[in-house]
Homo-oligomer: A and B are copies of this chain.
Amino acid sequence: VGAVRPEMSAARFVETGRKILAVGRNYRAHAAELGNAIPSEPFFFLKPTSSYLKNGGVIERPAQCCDLHFEVELGVVIGKPGKRISEANALDHVAGYALALDMTARDIQEKLKEKKLPWTLAKGFDTSCPISDFIPKSAIPNPHDVGLWLKVNSQIKQNGNTKDMIFNIPQLISFLSQSFTLEEGDLILTGTPSGVGPVQPGDVIEAGLTDLIDIRFTVAQQPE
């Protein structure tokens, strides 16, 4: 595989990464705001890498969606491949971080949930993973005490801190890697704090990780 992707490096995860594993309901206040129980173990869904949207881009609300929600999340970029990683060794597998939005077609998701179907159409459409540049690990010495915020049209909507995660990063990496080999460039989305809500075509979303990085996207309707 080394020969196949000679220029791969975790810093270029948007181009080279092969999966995005996203945890749901990893902040108590967010689980509560959507009327969900606090999970006793983490659950996950996949977003395809075709859903990445680089900073400054246009988030397209899918044609069948009338309730597109933002969820600001800390992303963890894997640097060292591994399987069945212990919590003690988990952070050795982290190359860095990124700030991400887990854009969610909430109405489509609700319909899929009613039918007990997977969330792929609600969570994986093109532009559903707006993403910052890579943040090297050294820039965030303690990933479990980082503020993350999100504004819509300059109004603050989400203002959380990663210290409120239910399952922390080593727990997520260890749990996931029991089932899934983690590869260089994979991204783990660690869940969103409370305050999620809808955006409309024309809205501007800004989000940041304390004063480390910020990102900005506009929302449009997907062309017919």
Contacts and interface: CB of A to CB of B under 8 A. Distances in A.
Interface string A50-81: 11000000000011000000000000000000
A149 B145 CA distance: 54
Contacts of A45: 118, 120
A179 interface: yes
B46 A180 contact: no
A45 B119 CA distance: 7
A134 B55 CA distance: 36
A126 to B, nearest CB: 5
A46 B178 contact: no
B117 A43 contact: yes
Contact of A63 (B12, B63, B178): B178
Give the interface size class of chain A. 35 or more
A125 B179 contact: yes
A201 B103 CA distance: 40
A96 interface: no
Given A83-B126, A180-B126, A120 B7 contact: no
A116 B118 contact: no
Given A18-B18, A49-B19, A126-B179, A4 B3 contact: no
A43 B122 CA distance: 11
Interface string A174-217: 00001111110000000000000000000000000000000000
A48 interface: yes
Interface in A20-66: 21, 24, 43-51, 62-63
Interface of A: 1, 3-8, 12, 15-16, 18-19, 21, 24, 43-51, 62-63, 83, 112-121, 124-126, 178-183
